[in-house]
């Protein structure tokens, strides 16, 4: 009988895999990230370190590993990004946004990893977008301007919007 129980159960592993997929959008890379995260957890546990929240710990490890990989490939944006066009970045009522499931599925991969990370923290972990930006140290303005673009995608689907039913050609790419 083990002195220490297994720290990550099936649902934890599934959840962490989904998080890895949110970041890297590639099943093989996501599995690698998850396995590396689990190994870090086991190594630290074997050293005698007490990790009270293994799922959160591994999630953080996965994120750090992903950022490291991005830095190697130089596609993680560390500087504050300034949009060329000016957007209204007044608080977006993201809670009320409606979107077609298939449309989101289609545009999901075109969002930046940073934005998907925030959406994950908001939709799955239950943080507000502001909290997610703070936790993840991501400029809020950048995120809001991206959400405005997303809102434009959602706008034609919103019943309250008089432009409902506009041609998709008028939508801006994210």
Residues in contact with another protein by CB under 8 A are 2-4, 6-10, 13-14, 17-18, 21-22, 27, 30-31, 34-35, 38-39, 42-43, 45-46, 94-102, 104-105, 108, 119-120, 122-124, 150, 154, 157-158
> How is residue 104 written in tokens?
């989101």
Q: How far is CA 146 from the centre of its chain?
A: 13
> How is residue 27 written in tokens?
């099943």
CB 124 within 8 A of CB 68: no
Give least dist CB 2 to another protein, A.
5
> How is residue 1 written in tokens?
């009988």
CB 55 within 8 A of CB 12: yes
List Cα–Cα distances, 173 to 78, 144, 153, 163, in angstroms: 23, 16, 9, 18
Give least dist CB 36 to another protein, A.
11
Give least dist CB 15 to another protein, A.
9
């Amino acid at each position: 009988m083990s002195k220490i129980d297994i720290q990550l159960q099936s649902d934890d592993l599934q959840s962490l895999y989904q998080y890895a997929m949110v970041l890297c959008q590639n099943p093989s890379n996501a599995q690698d990230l998850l396995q590396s995260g689990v190994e870090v957890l086991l190594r630290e546990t074997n050293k005698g370190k007490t990790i009270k929240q293994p799922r959160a710990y591994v999630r953080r490890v996965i994120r750090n590993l992903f950022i490291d990989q991005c830095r190697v490939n130089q596609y993680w944006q560390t500087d504050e990004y300034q949009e060329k066009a000016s957007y209204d970045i007044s608080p977006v009522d993201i809670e009320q946004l409606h979107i077609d499931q298939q449309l989101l599925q289609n545009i999901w991969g075109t969002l930046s990893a940073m934005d998907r990370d925030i959406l994950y923290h908001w939709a799955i972990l239950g943080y507000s977008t502001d909290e997610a930006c703070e936790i993840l140290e991501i400029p809020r303005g950048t995120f809001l301007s991206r959400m405005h673009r997303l809102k434009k995608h959602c706008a034609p689907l919103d019943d309250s919007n008089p432009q409902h039913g506009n041609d998709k050609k008028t939508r801006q790419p994210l």
